[in-house]
Structure 1
Amino acid sequence: MTIEKLNKIADIRVLLFGDFMVDKYIHGKVSRISPEAPVPVLEVTSRQTKLGGAGNVVNNIITLGAGVRVLGCVGEDPDGEWILSELSEKGIETGYMRKYPQVQTISKTRLVSKNQQFLRYDEEKIQDIPDAYVEEIRQQEEVLFQGIQAVIISDYGKGAVTKEGAEFLIEGAHRRNIPVIIDPKGTDYSKYENADVCTPNVKELGDVMGKPLHTEEEILEAGQKLREQIHLKYLLLTRSEKGISLFDGQQGRQDFPAASKDVVDVTGAGDTVVSAVALMMAAGFSPEECCVLANTAASIVCSKFGAATLSLNELMEQMVNSGEFKLVDVTTAKYVLASLKEKGKKIVFTNGCFDMLHAGHLASFLQARKFGDVLIVAVNSDASVKRLKGPERPVVEQQNRIRMLCALECVDYVILMEDDTPVPLIQALHPDVTVKGKDWEHKNIPERHVVESYGGTVKFIDLEEGLSTTNLIGKIRHE
């Protein structure tokens, strides 16, 4: 997986069609039972309103950094007005959204105490989208697809996604080589025929096949059968704690284990998966890579309460932290550190050659770590060390110096530094604290001006007396 592909997400625009709803949350405390009936009494402390249904897919797309053009209908009612206003405030293209008096905007209200739902009530009238709307967007096909790199059909089974509307979008997208990703609902999957990706869960797959699926053999048979029946390129089966299974015409079934993380709330995880898959496909990732990234994305949102989303920074941080080594390049480091800063973490930076890693280096890392929450260490490349220390250095090549640093518990991330000073890295990363040895305290260090220009600070630490790589090399040679 390349960072360059992830950077393409900012230039991607998704065409999204589906059921738009309002998610309402009433938060409060429960400390007593009603004297009128054996039910808990919620003492309301706050209220919250969010985009729901296809609107949560919108939230996922924009927090990952892409753009959205939306298709759909709402009612001529306060909830419908709120949806249109909220979409506009988020900078979403709403020129193809329409209000109709015969449509009732769907809302779901959740009563919550201590981040636990104990009641939900829905206000909805399920009916097909007006024929006039489908005809209207059909007449505007050329402009509708302009600048679009992926199409998502977010079907919540509330009537927006009819066979006519879905077929129009799938055929129009394929004429332009644009991938179509379906988040399905119900048992009539014929309307999704010829889509690129469909993302049911195991229960939904069982419903459409007319029987519960209990064994791996049953799941394999059902997945292959459904993919062939409706001529999908890929069936992407979401399996909760088991991750994702990918069905295609070449490999059969491939399984991708779920990323390990504490589950708080699975609400909206399907929206995250379909959003991530659409954006990653448009960015040029393979279906297999899309499954890995979608698993990671879903694990992050499931660790949050409610229909949550994730940023590209969070996705990058999780991907790096799930790897074997802590080595990051500057682009990846920018994503990771931005995510950590969003969480209120203080970033500490230090740098050096770290040739022949010794106790003095370790002492400096432990001191630096105390200035914040995350320590990133920049290590000079072999070429840089030669320029600074002479042609006989380094004694230990950069690959092994990096491995040693990555093995230290007190070091969170390691980055290779090609320049002779850390100024370019500090300009790119903006660490909160930059750490130097006290031998630099009264010198004119080049990074001081850069650090202070964005509000960072430079801290100086004690060095272990008599412990230096130069001394160690001299002692070895003498002996």
Structure 2
Amino acid sequence: MTIRIEERLAQFDRLTVLVAGDFMIDQYLSGTSTRISPEAPVPVVHIKKTFFRLGGAGNVVRNLAALGAKLRVVLEVGDDANGAMLIGELAQLGADLTYARQTPQVCTSVKTRVLAQNQQLLRFDEEDIRPVSSEWVEALRLQADSLFSGIDMVLLSDYGKGALTSEMTAFLINEATSRGIGVTVDPKGTDYSKYAGATVCTPNLKELIEAVGADRLETEDAIYQAAETLCRQNNIEYMLTTRSEKGMSLQRKGAAQKQDFPVVSKEVIDVTGAGDTVIAAFTLCYGAGFPLELCCKLANVAASIVVSKTGAATATREEICAVLEDMGHERCKIRTADALRTVVKQLHEAGKRVVFTNGCFDLVHAGHISSFRQAKAFGDVLIVGVNSDDSIRRIKGPRRPIVGQQARLALLEALDMVDYLVLFDEDTPQTLIEQLCPDVMVKGKDWEGKSVAGGEFVRAHGGRVEFIELEQGLSTTQIIEQVLRAYGESI
């Protein structure tokens, strides 16, 4: 049986990634600019909003968390307000902070970006670059067994601020590989010997050129030779080079040629943090045991999503699935409420009208099919809310449903007029409707003139409630009664 991409991505939930590297704070000063300063030929920005995000290795953690992974971090930050903010942000993401510490010997790095009309005008950095202490490496070495306990992958995010010295990277890579744990590295600088033994390094093309001491790499063969040289000289299994508009290239150590993966077309708004997204997505795909081609493809898709957003953004599994659907991949119609909320938002942004209907759909019959056809005619996309087994038992009694929820969902998924399905456990779909905010809600005419759960909410948000004709003589209860009359106790 084919495994859907949604099912594959759900495997991220069971992965725990150890992240080490240069953690920092990204500060954004966002406003508008309508004039040039009389003091100098620079724009004057009227700041309207200031906000902060995790930067550097912290942005990698954000990306991993957005994709569903569990996290453990190794870091030293300053014993200052920015360090406390950074630790607090990591805690909110659920990261294991056992091996994180604040120390007065370190100054927490802060990158401040000034934005006007969502365009970056200026960046200034506050930092004190210094190598991590050997004492901290030794303290981690003494706790190696607990540090690596339960870890599925190790990710090293090197921004050249001193957290990943040769001593630190050697310790982390050697300990991980001795335990059979894969190591991915976002490298910095020209000395790749510090990453010796890593599974994958993910330089961009400029970094690859610098690492081999070249002025440029003008041909595909030159790129292949450079990546192969770095793999061979430093015992790195794979070199995954990101190449902007040309996508990415994967070189396996000793392979006769590289594999190229074209870019996924999307409007580019801001490339900030795209490399963090690539390594986060690739790491989880590799840790989940995906084929390398799929790892690269999904990392490419994830990167295309974040570059279409402002700032150091993240990609979710739902967004990745939506892009793959647009590319013609098979869609899974069965979604969670949270996932569908993202889908509905994207549909509304695309100008689509979303229709919602709901029911138990126990023993699906021709009446249900007629209702779905009528409902779909009111819009572009039909979402069907399906009562869970527990919900049906509360409403209809302990002998129902006849057909379990997974079988009901599988049957409804096969219907062409149904676009998405979502299971809900409440007695009414009120909460679900408030989460999804559909444009049209559809009920049978037997509800006309009655209070409809979710109806007032839909109307209050600019939508409408429509009532449709029901097929007479067709209901699950009538079908059950007919079976009992026909077979009696012999059934």
Q: Aligning the two structures, in what range does the TM-score lie when normalised by the shorter sequence? A: 0.7 to 0.9
Question: Which residue number corresponds to residue 15 of structure 2?
Answer: 12
Question: Which residue number corresponds to residue 106 of structure 1?
Answer: 109
- The 2-side partners of 1:253 and 1:428 are apart by 51
Question: Which residue number corresponds to residue 57 of structure 2?
Answer: 54
* Alignment of structure 1 residues 65-144 onto 2, 5 Å: 65-144=68-147
1:297 aligns with 2:308: no
- The 1-side partners of 2:261 and 2:109 are apart by 35
Question: Which 10-residue stretch deviates more, 129-138 or 211-220?
Answer: 211-220
CA deviation after TM superposition for structure 1 residue 42, in Å? 1.9
- The 2-side partners of 1:202 and 1:272 are apart by 16
- The 2-side partners of 1:48 and 1:360 are apart by 48
Residue type of the alignment partner of 1:28: G
Summarize the Cα distance change of 1:100–1:335 in structure 2 as closer, same or farther, 3 Å threshold.
Answer: closer
Question: Which residue number corresponds to residue 237 of structure 2?
Answer: 233
Summarize the Cα distance change of 1:360–1:213 in structure 2 as closer, same or farther, 3 Å threshold.
Answer: same
Q: Alignment partner of 1:367: what SS?
A: coil
Q: Alignment partner of 2:377: what SS?
A: helix
Q: 1:375 aligns with which of 373, 378, 382?
A: 382
* Alignment of structure 1 residues 35-434 onto 2, 5 Å: 35-211=38-214, 212-248=216-252, 249-250=254-255, 252-323=257-328, 327-331=331-335, 336-341=339-344, 345=348, 347-349=354-356, 365-369=376-380, 374-376=381-383, 413=419
Residue type of the alignment partner of 1:287: L
CA deviation after TM superposition for structure 1 residue 21, in Å? 1.0
Q: 2:35 aligns with which of 25, 32, 37?
A: 32
Q: Alignment partner of 2:101: what SS?
A: strand
Residue type of the alignment partner of 1:177: G
Question: Which residue number corresponds to residue 395 of structure 2?
Answer: none
Contact 2:357/2:375 (<8 A) preserved:
no
Q: Alignment partner of 2:29: what SS?
A: strand
Contact 2:76/2:101 (<8 A) preserved:
yes
Contact 2:18/2:71 (<8 A) preserved:
yes
CA deviation after TM superposition for structure 1 residue 61, in Å? 1.0
User: How many residues align structurally?
Assistant: 424
Residue type of the alignment partner of 2:274: A
CA deviation after TM superposition for structure 1 residue 264, in Å? 0.2
- The 2-side partners of 1:152 and 1:277 are apart by 10
Q: Alignment partner of 1:228: what SS?
A: helix
Q: Alignment partner of 1:252: what SS?
A: coil
Question: Any gaps of 5 or more consecutive residues in structure 2?
Answer: 386-410, 470-491
CA deviation after TM superposition for structure 1 residue 101, in Å? 2.5
CA deviation after TM superposition for structure 1 residue 432, in Å? 5.2
- The 2-side partners of 1:427 and 1:336 are apart by 17
Summarize the Cα distance change of 1:328–1:440 in structure 2 as closer, same or farther, 3 Å threshold.
Answer: farther
Contact 1:337/1:429 (<8 A) preserved:
no
Question: Which residue number corresponds to residue 394 of structure 2?
Answer: none
CA deviation after TM superposition for structure 1 residue 177, in Å? 1.4
- The 2-side partners of 1:453 and 1:207 are apart by 61
Q: CA RMSD in A?
A: 3.9
Contact 1:317/1:336 (<8 A) preserved:
no
CA deviation after TM superposition for structure 1 residue 134, in Å? 0.6
CA deviation after TM superposition for structure 1 residue 184, in Å? 0.4
Summarize the Cα distance change of 1:428–1:48 in structure 2 as closer, same or farther, 3 Å threshold.
Answer: closer
Post-superposition Cα deviations, 1:227-256, rounded to whole Å, max 9, x if no partner, equal 222122211111111111111145731111
- The 1-side partners of 2:79 and 2:441 are apart by 59
Post-superposition Cα deviations, 1:116-137, rounded to whole Å, max 9, x if no partner, equal 1111111122211111111110
Summarize the Cα distance change of 1:31–1:158 in structure 2 as closer, same or farther, 3 Å threshold.
Answer: same
Question: Which residue number corresponds to residue 476 of structure 1?
Answer: none
CA deviation after TM superposition for structure 1 residue 31, in Å? 2.3
Contact 2:281/2:302 (<8 A) preserved:
yes
Contact 1:316/1:335 (<8 A) preserved:
no
Question: Which residue number corresponds to residue 401 of structure 2?
Answer: none
Contact 1:368/1:461 (<8 A) preserved:
no
Q: Alignment partner of 2:332: what SS?
A: coil
Question: Any gaps of 5 or more consecutive residues in structure 1?
Answer: 379-397, 406-410, 418-422, 464-479
TM-score by length of 1: 0.77
CA deviation after TM superposition for structure 1 residue 34, in Å? 2.4
Residue type of the alignment partner of 2:124: Y
Instruction: Report % sequence identity.
Output: 42
- The 1-side partners of 2:139 and 2:243 are apart by 38
Summarize the Cα distance change of 1:328–1:130 in structure 2 as closer, same or farther, 3 Å threshold.
Answer: same
Q: Alignment partner of 2:129: what SS?
A: coil
Post-superposition Cα deviations, 1:73-123, rounded to whole Å, max 9, x if no partner, equal 112232222212222233221121122323222111111111111111111
Q: Alignment partner of 1:70: what SS?
A: strand
CA deviation after TM superposition for structure 1 residue 322, in Å? 2.0
